Amino acid sequence: MRTPLRQRSVTGLALTVACVSALAGCANPDDGAEGGAGKGTEDLVDSVKRDAKIAAMVPQNIAQQGSFAAAVNPSSPPIKFVDGAGKITGFTPELVTAAGKMMGLDVVMKQTSFDALIPGLEARRFDVILTINDLADRREKTDFIDYLKTGTAILGAASLPQDEVTPKKLCGLSVGYVRGNVQQDLVAAADKRCADAGAKPVTGTAFQDINAAILAVQSGQIDTAWGDAPSISYNAEKNPSRYKELYREISGPYGVGVNKQDTELRDALRAALRKCVENGIYQKLLEDYGLTDYALTDMSLNKGPADDHA
């Protein structure tokens, strides 16, 4: 019987994964995949002023404490990463920090793993969660302010013989993905297609974050990494001697997640994000982080796909 992909043993990679995860968390944006992104807007967020109308929308308990907690797994440059000084930064942390300043609030970034984001939001350990795909099953308890297009992409080493690998052409290859993200199911579906066709299996390996998967590609531990399009594309563009993008599909949006019960906070944050669009902060951040292809300026609520495979 064929072993389900998500249950396959990855013990042979355990030590390597731990090592590359540690390296990924300490990446220097001037020297690694981040490539110095964000350097052009270092002072932009600091200059943002409180907007009295938006601040009046903030729920009283949060206004009194003067801050809200934003959970983030900072592993996907240029969207979110840890800089050389150990600070969580990137397009999304800067955008949400700017919105927080308009609300009259500090934003406290809380580093966590991807698979702990929604459980932590539901348990009230965080007020919002950053940069997560707006999917149908997640919308049962979470509202999403959709602020950026995303999709899925596959990265390989520059030395890989194939220059194009679609989801239907993964048979016989090893693929890394982030545990709990949409690519986990996409890899499982690709593996099933190969099994149905009598072809070689897709060997899937779950990683804690996409940086770890990309570094495993670099070290030759796996053939490919399948992750969210903005981060995969950015890594391939910034490091063409190491990586190449094999496949990309733009589909559903990234959202900032807010507990469905926290409607006042959601609406205040949404108003602040829209103000960032109106006053040009959003566009400047897009340009500085190389994300203009992914602009989504409406800040709509819960407009992700009806299924969970986008």
* End-of-domain residue from the set 250, 274, 303: 250
Give the residue among 287, 228, 256 at the shortest CA–CA distance from 96: 256
Residue 234 shares a structural domain with residue 181: yes
On the question of pLDDT at 53 being above 60, the answer is yes
Residue 133 shares a structural domain with residue 220: no
Query: CA–CA separation, 112 vs 115, rounded Å?
Result: 8
Residue 236 shares a structural domain with residue 147: no
Residue 104 shares a structural domain with residue 196: no
266-293 in b/e form (b: 16+ CB < 10 A) is bbbbbbbbbbbbeeebbebbbebbbbee
Stated as kind and residue range, the H or E segment containing 154 is: strand 142-157
| Residue 94, domain member (yes or no) | yes
Quick one: residue 189, left, alpha or beta (phi over 0 = left, psi -120 to 50 = alpha)?
Answer: alpha
Query: CA–CA separation, 53 vs 37, rounded Å?
Result: 32
Domain count within the chain: 2
| Residue 305, domain member (yes or no) | no
Q: What is the pTM of this model?
A: 0.79
- How confident is the model over 259-301, as pLDDT tens digits? 999 999 999 999 999 999 999 999 999 999 989 989 999 999 9
What is the residue range of 258's domain? Answer: 41-151+252-294
Q: Are 213 and 187 in contact (CB under 8 A)?
A: no
Residue 133 shares a structural domain with residue 265: yes
The whole-number average pLDDT for the span 148-166 is: 95
Query: CA–CA separation, 202 vs 191, rounded Å?
Result: 5
Query: The domain that contains 241 carries what CATH number?
Result: 3.40.190.10
